[in-house]
Structure 1
Amino acid sequence: MIDGLLAFGTETPENLAAAAQLDVAAEEDDFGRSDLGLCLKDYAVRLDHVLWLADGADIPEQVQERWPGLPQQEWDCALRVAKLVLSALGSPPIHDSEAAPRPAQAEFRAALWAIGEQPHTPPEELGDKVTAALLAFASATPDNLTAAEHLGVSVQEGQISWDIGLCLLRPGIRLSHLLASAVGSTMPPTLLEDLPELIQEDWDTVLTVTALVLSALESDQLETAPN
């Protein structure tokens, strides 16, 4: 898993530091069911849990500098989608060595995979499937409904190539770019209240790995014109 992260994300100092702090761990609930997910090695705390605890955090300064005028609500939606994606990519509940089927989780994962595997599908169609599957997986709470309304799939064109990926619909900003730009930002106070032992490197690891996961869900660079 760590080798795959470095092969995909290149061996930059930030990625090497994140890989050194990354692990996969099981978490058990009160009913004896466990599941697997990405976690911080030193604390066995899930990456998606860290993002949940950062809920409501102000937009980092460097994000504001790169995208002036980005509303707080858009940042909130980006964090919520990112943590739901990480949660969906974990394993289904395991009991007595057998995984319990979770159709909504499987549907959400399939919709995410389709972005990278079916780039010639109209972005609106891919986006509709992702948002519908997200709400089926995460339930239609007000925050999740808002996140789904702001989520889309966009075409990003260069001079000789294009690709598609998850984005904030109205500004058109890629989620992977948004999370990557927040690396190095001050840890949210709400996070430190619940996990005071975390240090800056841990927060950077969560943002770096989440950005790489979101980037991995994007399509390859394609040299032909999109349909």
Structure 2
Amino acid sequence: MGPLMVSDHPSCLKSRKSTKSWNKYIKGASAVFAYHISRGEKITVLSPPPPDRFHPDGLTNYQTIEEPVLKGAIGGVAVSRIEMVHPTVKGAEDFYYQVWPADETHLWIANFGMLLSKKQHWRRVSSKKRNLVVSQAEVFIQTETKVQNVSGTAKALKEKKEEKKKREKKAERKKKKAERKKQREEKRKKMTTTSDTSKTRKISDTENSPNNIKASDSPKCLRVPNSNKIDDGVEESSRPSMLARWMMYLWS
């Protein structure tokens, strides 16, 4: 947490919060911090040596918030390995051993034994706060997308959700586009059918127009026989033409 936990540091908010608000702030910060570091493959925890590595009540922020987050019980993302180191023991500053998912505490005991120091004076933690602490941690983890400085696994999850939304929007746009195309095709097909009907009607009207009626189809038309004879039996060629009549008149 760095300067955020130093009460006289300008970045620390302890002087501007009540005791209740400050406790809630610390719990939330622990949840966000644990979720932030859970993107790593390996986590190292500093603590007193065995047998009293943690508070016997099991209700500290690490035990109720940070460790469940690191193990994936809260938030659903777990680290690959949790290690312990006990720098207060001389010569053990660089000795790391795994405690999760496999518990290799026996390696520490084999090298340094069970160091029984003077009795630890642990602060008292009310068991009534356990469910509240876990619930608050879950709330902070669920709202991780609203926390700025969250990266790694949290960022990957956020990007995965955003990618899923993009795919859904893309599929929706594709579906709407297909529907619009189908509507255009139906409209074009309907217009083509209407046009064909109009052309058929126009052709029918043209065929029935007076200009296209044949002489043989009209009841009023009299078919003139193809003959050079007239009704009185006199051949047309035997009659003098009008010009011949005028010439005969002038000569007479």
Give the TM-score normalised by structure 2. 0.22
Give the TM-score normalised by structure 1. 0.24
**Structure of higher RCO (CA pairs closer than 8 Å, 6+ residues apart):** 1
User: Relative to total residues, which structure has the larger strand share, 1 or 2?
Assistant: 1
